[in-house]
Structure 1
């Protein structure tokens, strides 16, 4: 007898399948028991999301029926394309190779497997899906009579539905999954079910998709490893000072203010990506705030508490430890928004210690908040506030899910296919580990932030908001400021961030980097990626700004490094970590950063 071809499907390993099924049964019982226990003990808010979505699409249906001619026109166009597709499929059966009626976007990775193009059946499934998607998009986008916010919400949820229904998300219509199933004798599907149960168990009955190999990373071991010490802590933050790596440093120390939506170590990832390490090597005395991951005990903390107990208290400490009354600050994302509030507050108090500021992908004018606008109308904010009031905080995993929905194909469905249908383990990736290391948000603070900034856009108005008794006016900020945004940022769209510099009164520089909210910022020079654009034009028109901008190769860090050096002051002898008054408490990265779901036993 001839040996079985290596291309033939392997025979099922029944012993292995039995063991897997036993594991699945045990995990299923454990997950269900934990879920029921939580359901019985939890205080629930009425689930209003489905009702709100129902009302949304009822409005859409009413408006569509008001103009049946437009609907018929769209249907006729769809059927014409579909008939062309049927004709092409017939021609392919006769050996012809007609041009496709519909093609995926160039960057659409769902259909990268060769069978989607080469195999007539899968090509037909793919094109049918693309035609149907285009039809639904067309119908929704051309409906008249809906207000702008409702139209955006309908469009978002329609795209979410279309993404979910992609043939790549179903085992029987995904050629790559079918190949894997044949090769493993179905073991991949059993392993995928096992992976699903593991994710449900970690989420305590609610799906928490594993995006990377969690065992491949450890904060303090291969992430957040730049040498330093925690020199102070309060209820909301630990302050870390990093050891110098040069004999001389700039006179003005540098205080980094990260967002508290995520952990601070996005700015101190693995050493070859660490912004903190790079800044230390550039001769800066670097301090960073590591925010507390809040629980119910911090429910009453407000936005002004984050300002007073965060950067303002940190500035006092930096001055005391270094002896310098001239300090530069860097704010990232929400940390940048807080930094702007802090600078306006200090200006109102006559405090002139901060001499230069950097704002990284942060919103000061929230007129165009991007797709997050879908989640911040009155109905949804009231529902969110009632949910937060139960625990006193917003669970970080819920916020993480919201952000992932903005890029569902990349951050949800790709992992659904890989983990659950193909039965594979996710690839180790430090950025995705950090992205999964979610943090909670205190109820009072988060409600203030969403309502006054995202919903009402009051920060840009002089005196629009008040913090610690002071009306906040960004025009009082007269120091030099460097703004960096990312061209593909879906969290802080540069359509909005480009409006930030006009709100300040001092000299500003606006730089646009490539890529998105994270990869665009964390772009060390040695990677030589993405490029960036500079333009001295103060216009808020994106097309005008970009058409007149000068393109540069490599990382924007190079440009920023020169700007920081110009505003860093004279060189002085490198400073030791801590002081007589503020002795080191523990090694960086400290204990606050190790609080959260990835560190639970």
Structure 2
């Protein structure tokens, strides 16, 4: 009997049924918890609670700390609860108590009590002997989320700013807030949340840079943009966006479109627009994304332009995919890349920030079951995880401003883009989370592309790498770790702003600045904090620094290439932005 027939003979007929039942059970749990694994939280909380219970010295310290804070608060009250001289200051990013109304009694005492409680719980959930670092971080994060739910700013009786708004509007703000809430519930039930009337229309106001779709496969459309200069550089630029969101984050309004700006600098620009997966695409994996994505795009660009060298840019997950593709190209002797730009893209995942707190076997088992049921991960489920990382700004402040104060913010192009999410197929996202986030296979040389492992150490092409200071998705110190993985020349830039707003940083944007320092090829790798101390600060947009970097690595400008190449199978198929961008 062959090995295959032996395996078939030994197979339990209940295996398939058991797997289906398990997936259904975990999917049901995920539906109740919003995709967050209760097992991960329970393990972390029990580790913390048991070790704290076994630490009488630490409990004594916390008791003393609580008494000192109480006395400090009593002293604050005894001295008139002066709002100008608080007992404790909120963290720099905490704007909940900025209004002068919070300096008046009794609200100053309420706010001060909350901030001290918050500080005490941080001390109580950190520094407990024996608690694993990961469990400590999960516990501290979870308790912070719970405290944020009960912040005095969230409730009418304890929020003086909200009370003032109610008085000023005669209570109509609550009526309007209820109307907005019902409208959002109705839109969510219809599955049309975020797709109502918008002042920005795709192809007219946003994603409006002129061009043609010159190639399409089952996973992406390739757009070639029309030149706006008489001459262009001989090296075209390929843009590989993240597939979790649509590509036009880089082609917003005319004034802040990176694509439009790049075309205006005299480059032939190509951008990929990803297909929005459905259940039938459940088996698309990372290799499909590599081959049908950047590799197919590079072949098309080579055929159309005849250029031997191509600049490539990858944003977020697109940057990770581009790094994998570039490493495979270097391994296979493909030398088409003239330079590589990575925007807020991680290649080393050992410290991915708070988003990685819940990436463990229990959490991924729950996510796999969610995706197994539908064949994809819905954008709303991933968006919920991102909102949780900044619950003050993205959850509670929205509830306060919209549903209690009755003030819907005026939509801008970035908000419209942010509401226009995409799905991720089961196979790809499971592989991405397990092999990159959980096992760090790419950084450690185990990730397979084209049937063989790839190593980022093979990369020799110069790189321009951008991190953003307040990035909760791809923390800049994690992005910076590319220095440890390759000897290539790296021009690392750190710009102010977050994962999206830091990248959409057009020239002329107020209050923009960045730090920049180049590590030469084969130079020593510099630790992030040392880099931060040594990199000079520059006012303005990092786009201009990137433009200079591209120019220094590009040839003399000449006539632009044709739009597409019908004789080579790349005929223009439609006007930009194409059809994939419109898929819901």
- Normalised by the length of structure 1, the TM-score is 0.87
Question: Residue 231 of structure 1: SS of its match in structure 2?
Answer: strand
Tell me the residue number matched to 2:62: 74
Q: Which residue, 89, 98, 122 being the options, matches 1:103? A: 89
- The Cα shift of 1:214 comes to 5.6
- The Cα shift of 1:315 comes to 0.7
Q: Which residue, 487, 491, 497 being the options, matches 2:473? A: 491
Tell me the residue number matched to 1:33: none
Tell me the residue number matched to 2:141: 156
> Partners of 2:457 and 2:75 in 1: how far apart?
64
Tell me the residue number matched to 1:203: 188
Tell me the residue number matched to 1:19: none
Does structure 2 conserve the Cα–Cα contact (< 8 Å) formed by 1:213 and 1:425? no
> Partners of 1:97 and 1:348 in 2: how far apart?
63
Tell me the residue number matched to 1:390: 373
> Partners of 1:207 and 1:167 in 2: how far apart?
32
Does structure 1 conserve the Cα–Cα contact (< 8 Å) formed by 2:281 and 2:375? yes
Tell me the residue number matched to 2:4: none
- The Cα shift of 1:97 comes to 7.0
Q: Give matches, 1:338-377, under 5 Å.
A: 338-377=321-360
- Does 2:232 correspond to 1:249? yes
Question: Residue 508 of structure 2: SS of its match in structure 1?
Answer: helix
Q: Mind listing any 5+ residue stretches in structure 2 that lack a counterpart?
A: 1-23, 31-36
Does structure 2 conserve the Cα–Cα contact (< 8 Å) formed by 1:326 and 1:355? yes
| More displaced 10-residue stretch of structure 1: 234-243 or 156-165 | 156-165
Question: Residue 572 of structure 1: SS of its match in structure 2?
Answer: coil
Q: Which residue, 102, 112, 132 being the options, matches 1:116? A: 102
> Partners of 2:321 and 2:83 in 1: how far apart?
58
Please give the per-residue CA displacement for 1:151-195, whole angstroms capped at 9, x wherever unaligned: 111111111112222111112211121122223333222322222
- The Cα shift of 1:470 comes to 2.6
- The Cα shift of 1:213 comes to 8.5
Q: Give matches, 1:81-480, under 5 Å.
A: 81-92=69-80, 99-117=85-103, 119-204=104-189, 215-462=198-445, 464-480=446-462
Q: Give matches, 1:19-34, under 5 Å.
A: none
Does structure 2 conserve the Cα–Cα contact (< 8 Å) formed by 1:244 and 1:576? no
Change (3 A) 1:125 1:214: farther
CA RMSD of aligned residues (A): 2.1
Tell me the residue number matched to 2:14: none
Please give the per-residue CA displacement for 1:449-473, whole angstroms capped at 9, x wherever unaligned: 11111111110123x1112313212
Please give the per-residue CA displacement for 1:487-542, whole angstroms capped at 9, x wherever unaligned: 22221112121111332343222222222211221111122532111223543412
Change (3 A) 1:478 1:91: closer
- The Cα shift of 1:51 comes to 4.8
Q: Which residue, 542, 554, 577 being the options, matches 1:589? A: 577
Tell me the residue number matched to 1:556: 542
> Partners of 1:291 and 1:332 in 2: how far apart?
13
Question: Residue 313 of structure 1: SS of its match in structure 2?
Answer: helix
> Partners of 1:44 and 1:75 in 2: how far apart?
40
Please give the per-residue CA displacement for 1:298-354, whole angstroms capped at 9, x wherever unaligned: 100000000000010011111111122321111111111111111111223222222
> Partners of 1:46 and 1:70 in 2: how far apart?
39
Does structure 2 conserve the Cα–Cα contact (< 8 Å) formed by 1:213 and 1:428? no
- The Cα shift of 1:207 comes to 12
- Does 2:502 correspond to 1:520? yes
Question: Residue 358 of structure 1: SS of its match in structure 2?
Answer: strand
> Partners of 1:513 and 1:270 in 2: how far apart?
21
> Partners of 1:206 and 1:586 in 2: how far apart?
28
Q: Which residue, 45, 49, 53 being the options, matches 1:61? A: 49
Tell me the residue number matched to 2:6: none
> Partners of 2:218 and 2:428 in 1: how far apart?
15
Change (3 A) 1:71 1:471: same
- Normalised by the length of structure 2, the TM-score is 0.90
- The Cα shift of 1:136 comes to 0.6
| More displaced 10-residue stretch of structure 1: 55-64 or 355-364 | 55-64
Question: Residue 561 of structure 2: SS of its match in structure 1?
Answer: coil
Question: Residue 498 of structure 1: SS of its match in structure 2?
Answer: helix
Does structure 2 conserve the Cα–Cα contact (< 8 Å) formed by 1:81 and 1:101? no
> Partners of 1:130 and 1:97 in 2: how far apart?
14
> Partners of 2:79 and 2:444 in 1: how far apart?
63
Change (3 A) 1:434 1:81: same
| More displaced 10-residue stretch of structure 1: 385-394 or 216-225 | 216-225
Tell me the residue number matched to 1:599: none
Question: Residue 562 of structure 2: SS of its match in structure 1?
Answer: coil
Change (3 A) 1:88 1:568: same
Question: Residue 239 of structure 1: SS of its match in structure 2?
Answer: strand
> Partners of 1:301 and 1:152 in 2: how far apart?
34
Does structure 2 conserve the Cα–Cα contact (< 8 Å) formed by 1:258 and 1:289? yes
Change (3 A) 1:556 1:52: closer
Change (3 A) 1:290 1:86: same
Q: Which residue, 493, 512, 516 being the options, matches 1:530? A: 512
- The Cα shift of 1:206 comes to 9.6
